[in-house]
Amino acid sequence: MAYSDKVIDHYNNPRNVGSFKKEDDEVGTGVVGAPECGDVMKLQIKVDDTTGVITDAKFKTFGCGSAIASSSLATEWVKGKTLDEAMQITNTAIVEELALPPIKIHCSVLAEDAIKAAIDDYKKKKASVGAHSSADGTDSKS
């Protein structure tokens, strides 16, 4: 398997490897894939509550070089974007950027899913926190 230079670069120098505390309010976590399929991605975002901008992102991936590169790239791309903007990131853009061959397209799909799952998790968290605080009568949005 010949990898593109960009895949090799991300594999050798993965960006933003690590973890945030899952429990933190400003953190959204997406875990996608399955060990028996050969890839699992965990992508986390840290969101500024007031602006809705993703200020930081981290990943950990079990998978081939293309899966590692796709998730590493995804963390780079989501940083500085609003949640809505990050939702617009598509797997095809990842395929293009990393020059993934057809048999590695599923790696990019997984990265897109991971971004969406992380955003979803964050939004759910906010909703439950919001519901909780409005019951207290302190939520500004109500």
- The active-site residue, picked from 40, 47, 69, 107, is 107
d(CA 87, CA 103) in angstroms, rounded, equals 24
Kindly tell me the sign of the dihedral angle through the C-alpha atoms of 110, 115, 118, 123.
negative
Of 51, 47, 50, 53, nearest to 26 by C-alpha is: 47
- Is 37 an active-site residue? yes
Sites for other proteins among residues 6-65 (CB under 8 A): 8, 11, 14, 17, 19, 31-42, 59-65
Nearest approach in angstroms of CB 50 to other proteins is 30
The reply to whether 107 belongs to the active site is yes
Q: How far apart are CA 57 and CA 29, in angstroms?
A: 10
Catalytic residue chosen out of the listed positions 12, 19, 21, 37: 37
* 2 contributes a contact to other proteins by CB under 8 A: no
Positions in 108-137 near other proteins (CB under 8 A): 109-110, 113
CB 130 within 8 A of CB 141: yes
Residues touching other proteins: how many (CB under 8 A)? Answer: 33
Separation between Cα atoms, residue 128 and residue 95, nearest integer Å: 35
The residues that touch other proteins, with contacts defined as CB under 8 A, are 1, 3, 8, 11, 14, 17, 19, 31-42, 59-65, 67-68, 103, 106, 109-110, 113
Q: Which residues are catalytic?
A: 37, 107
